[in-house]
Amino acid sequence: MSEERTNIEQLISTSERIGTIGSPSSTSKLSLDILGTAVDKKLVGELALFRFSQDGKPHYALGQITEVQLKNIWLEDPTMRSLARQRGQVNPVSGQQDTHLGDMTVSAVFSDDGHRFEPSILGTVPATGTSIHLATDEILDRLLELYRDEIFYLGHVYGSTPKLPLWFKHFGTGPHGAGEAYHIGIFGKTGSGKSVLAKMILLAYARYPDMAIFVIDPQGEFSKDVRGEVRAEGFPLNLSNTLSQLNKEVIIRSVRELVLDRWDLFSEILYESPFFERLSVPKGENRRIASEVLAEKLQRVHITLQNLYQRESFNRAWQILGDGNVQMQFYRTQQSRDRFNIVYQEANQNEFFNNYWGPITELFRKDRTGAISVDNLMQQTFDLGRARRPVVVIDLSREMAAGLFWNDTIQALVIKRLLDGLTYSAEGAYRENRFLNTLVILDEAHRLAPREKIENEKQESVRLSLLDAVRTTRKYGLGWMFISQTLSSLHREIIGQLRIFFFGFGLALGTEFMSLKEIVGGDPNALKLYQSFRDPHSAFDIASRQYAFMTIGPVSPLSFAGTPLFLTVYNTPQEFLRANQLLRGGK
């Protein structure tokens, strides 16, 4: 007998026995007769295991207990039932003849080939009476010894004590690589802990020096953490420290430094801004043409995007708008032009320059401190020549945009520019046979890619860019992580492209639940377990808040069968960092 086997047998024998395999059982779902000694334990969610023999080798099967039922067949008899109704209880039936049955869904099987544990399958149903034990950290460590340095922990098995072993493989080939990029989705209601989870997963990938991470951060939340502005409440994870400990170069750029570099963006932003509003041109076709014509004419007189902010450029633009021939392009009738001209003549040019022209054209200005164009940013991200590839965070928060013209639509347009940049650079790299090994994280994805066609033409184009990026860039080595409050509103095709899912609290109702069901498939017990998640904010105090997630996909050595796994995320950064040896000094 190998040493491992002795060891694991010992470990199993000292772990708690909770029941035996009962009937009926199949290779996909096992019934569990729960021992009298375990009936008053909370068993739902527990990770359990049993040993069985297959092809002459010892095997170990692991799975979560998804349901516990009580049965008392005597009390199901109508006579007994009516007795119980009259007397409250029936001795010696009530309480005495109860049986507790559990359901266990096996998610992983390991075979012991004498030297090590190898993944295997449940190809037979073990005899009834086979003992079922609770899994412990020690048992899991031993079974997964082969993968020890790949494993990453985000928390404990839902409703249980062992840590749930997960793995996040980089997209490249070589050690710890998946050999291809894949997309990840994190879903859950507001406050369910998605962003915190995403930051933890970011660190899992940041362990790989040759993997780059690109974060599109609409709320500025990641940026704050990466800058080391640790909040006092919630989950005070110091991303900055941990990333520097991992030797990751961090590049943070906010809208203050990001140089927009496309004329069509200029005309789109001009269109959205109050500039034409103040000139009495309402939103619509006329204003669209006016912004486009203006951009075109400015280019024709050799004004560059980066010089737009100068007074001269403004004067030029103003002049162009005063030109009758130009006006004819956006206002067909003399009457409209006359109306426009009255406002135009009376307008205070200084005010237009300072209040409307300036904040827009700043976005295109190159001589700001730390300025970087979108194209350069992509180059830095995708530079495979670097031994250590960076974490790039783009802070698109309103907070950072003071003095610039900024709103949700402009933010969406800038995100579109980033998406197009990513797709374009990825295609370029592909032509040169380079595989990008990059994860792109996009928070608040539901705002950008709703399922219904968006009325606003510009937002619609953002949605299409996103779809296009998701569809095409995977083969170039670009994987995406979407974080979204809703499942039903994210475009179906995007959902269809995701390989790994995390579902937090809050999708148990209505259309959300329907969408969840579609993804999880037939397993009703998994859905029931998911429905048992509580709103973290309903906890009595902050310390007892629980952030639970269901995960599906090839994210754990405990789920090669693709069955959902359930976890409770660590609720302090210390615990998380310690579990993954990320504390400074390895404490």
List residues binding ligand ATP (CB under 6 A): 188, 190-196, 234-235, 485, 547, 569-571
Q: How far is the CB of 512 from Mg ion (least distance, A)?
A: 17
Q: Which does 571 bind (CB under 5 to 8 A by kind): ligand ATP, Mg ion, none?
A: ligand ATP
The residues pairing with 153 across neighbouring beta strands, listed in sequence order, are 165
User: What tokens does 371 get?
Assistant: 């300025």
* Site residue total, Mg ion (CB under 5 A): 1
Cβ neighbors of 265 (< 8 A, separation 6 or more) are 413, 414, 417
Give me the DSSP letters along 251-315.
Answer: EEEETTTEEP--HHHHHHHHHHSHHHHHTT--TTHHHHHHHHHHHHHHHHTT--GGGTTSHHHHH
SS3 (DSSP) at 535: coil
- For ligand ATP, the closer CB: 205 or 357: 205
- For Mg ion, the closer CB: 504 or 553: 504
Query: Which residue is nearest to ligand ATP, using beta carbons?
Result: 234
Stretch that binds Mg ion, among 75-83, 194-202, 371-379, 487-495 (CB under 5 A): 194-202
Cβ neighbors of 62 (< 8 A, separation 6 or more) are 47, 48, 49, 106, 107, 108, 109, 110, 135, 143, 558
CA distance 381 to 392: 7
Give me the DSSP letters along 51-82.
Answer: EEEETTEEEEEEEEEEEEEEE-TGGGSHHHHH
Q: Under the criterion CB under 5 A, does residue 25 sit at the interface with Mg ion?
A: no
Q: Which does 557 bind (CB under 5 to 8 A by kind): Mg ion, ligand ATP, none?
A: none
Q: Which of residues 123-142 bind Mg ion (CB under 5 A)?
A: none
Q: How far is the CB of 190 from ligand ATP (least distance, A)?
A: 3
Q: How far is the CB of 200 from ligand ATP (least distance, A)?
A: 8
Q: How far is the CB of 204 from Mg ion (least distance, A)?
A: 18
- For Mg ion, the closer CB: 27 or 219: 219
Do residues 267 and 295 lie in contact, with contact meaning Cβ atoms separated by under 8 Å? yes
Stretch that binds Mg ion, among 126-134, 191-199, 386-394, 571-579 (CB under 5 A): 191-199
The residues pairing with 133 across neighbouring beta strands, listed in sequence order, are 17, 49
Stretch that binds Mg ion, among 162-170, 188-196, 284-292, 318-326 (CB under 5 A): 188-196
Q: How far is the CB of 502 from Mg ion (least distance, A)?
A: 13
Q: Which does 160 bind (CB under 5 to 8 A by kind): ligand ATP, Mg ion, none?
A: none
- For ligand ATP, the closer CB: 473 or 546: 546
- For ligand ATP, the closer CB: 223 or 381: 223
Cβ neighbors of 3 (< 8 A, separation 6 or more) are none
Do residues 72 and 93 lie in contact, with contact meaning Cβ atoms separated by under 8 Å? yes
Query: Which residue is nearest to Mg ion, using beta carbons?
Result: 195
Q: How far is the CB of 386 from ligand ATP (least distance, A)?
A: 30
What is the SS3 assignment for 226-261? HHCCCCCCCCCCCHHHHHHHCCCCEEEEECCCEECC
Angle, CA of 371, 377 and 380, to the nearest 5°: 120
Task: Using alpha carbons, select from 217, 308, 205, 260 the residue that is nearest to residue 420.
Answer: 260
- For ligand ATP, the closer CB: 60 or 505: 505
Q: How far is the CB of 86 from ligand ATP (least distance, A)?
A: 50
CA distance 444 to 440: 13
- Figure out which of the listed residues 66, 107, 130, 195 binds Mg ion, where binding follows CB under 5 A: 195
Q: Which does 190 bind (CB under 5 to 8 A by kind): ligand ATP, Mg ion, none?
A: ligand ATP
A 10 A CB-CB count for 119 gives 12
- For ligand ATP, the closer CB: 470 or 548: 548
Interacting residues toward Mg ion by CB under 5 A:
195
